[in-house]
Structure 1
């Protein structure tokens, strides 16, 4: 069989131009795109006009969001929430909730302006005796009817004054600063070492080293404990609960959102210090159980 030779036809229809372009040259001059970068503007434009690509993008986004939600739920289940606390009686009292609807809340018994119920009753009784009408020493000229009317009028005025004073000193009629001051006092009385030292055992001691120098004996505490780590963590928790309750209705308050983040991270450092210092002892366990805090409040990185 004779060999075949490939060649371009010499005779071609005349189109007005004598220039003949080969297919190889045409491909080199106009290269076709075989791949498009996923995040480029051209890819977005193609996806916008292609319903199949749009449906694929929506499916990937939905799968990504659902996976993120599952991971967040798993993390919250394992570690807990870094801001919210479990509904313990102490936390419910800080939030202003009543644990038992049948019994009056213990926060109602506390009064504003640093007034105690016993001191208020003593002051009211003293004012009643001080303002009581005097009897006529000459009983022969005394009018019993006038004395009886004066005593009844004095009793009615004292009842009105007592009701007004009780309304003034009620914490329910105070502002947010008054309630926060009472919460701070409650934290000091609950976690202060002047009270907890009587009930909680000391932290476990470390290994004794014979060559170590002996530390001097600590001076005994005088007055209430307001600066220990557990008291400061409890006060920070009260402020965090107050801010989180406010942000539930004011989600665009960016200033207080930042304040909440600062308080949460400050409490995290305080809890880490207390855990390291107390070696996870009874004082640490009592604090975490009473405040209803989970491991997310001190472990790992807090993202809000």
Structure 2
């Protein structure tokens, strides 16, 4: 027992201080920069259309989540997807996505019909939807 007590009392050797050099970050490669520029050039077109639709159907300033805006945006996406499917009739993955968008729009319209029939009819007329 006495030997165990002696080993526990031993002091640890002092740690050596090691200086580490910090390297500056590498500049972005030419490929990465070119890719970002291409994406920036392509991205504004859809967002402009989206902002346009939001401005047309928003209930109040800054509104992006009201059912009217959501239905209008879904309708825009559905119209684009229908055009794509006319050009590519065998694209079954996109067809499945289209069915999901249509059902989501239908659910939003059902919700709007329950909450406020006047708003429901208004959005239906503006977008040219049935019923």
Aligned equivalent of 2:125: 289
Q: Is 2:22 the partner of 1:186? A: no
Q: Secondary structure of the equivalent of 2:87?
A: coil
CA radius of gyration, larger in? 1
Report the Cα offset of residue 180 of structure 1: 2.7
Cα distance per residue 1:160-201 (max 9 Å; x no partner): xxxxxxxxxxxxxx64x543322221221111111xxxxxxx
Contact 1:187–1:231, Cα closer than 8 Å, also in 2:
yes
Cα distance per residue 1:93-126 (max 9 Å; x no partner): xxxxxxxxxxxxxxxxxxxxxxxxxxxxxxxxxx
Gaps of at least 5 residues in structure 1 are: 1-173, 195-222, 296-304
Which fold has the larger relative contact order, with Cα–Cα distance below 8 Å and residues 6 or more apart in sequence? 1
Higher normalized helix content (fraction of residues):
2
2:89 paired residue among 241, 245, 251 = 251
So what's the TM-score if we normalise by structure 1? 0.29
Give the alignment's Cα RMSD to 1 decimal.
Answer: 1.5
Report the Cα offset of residue 255 of structure 1: 1.1
So what's the TM-score if we normalise by structure 2? 0.64
Q: Is 2:77 the partner of 1:239? A: yes
Contact 1:193–1:225, Cα closer than 8 Å, also in 2:
yes
**Structure 1 residues 178 and 252: alpha-carbon distance in aligned structure 2, compared to 1, 3 A threshold:** farther
Regions of 4+ moved over 4 Å: none
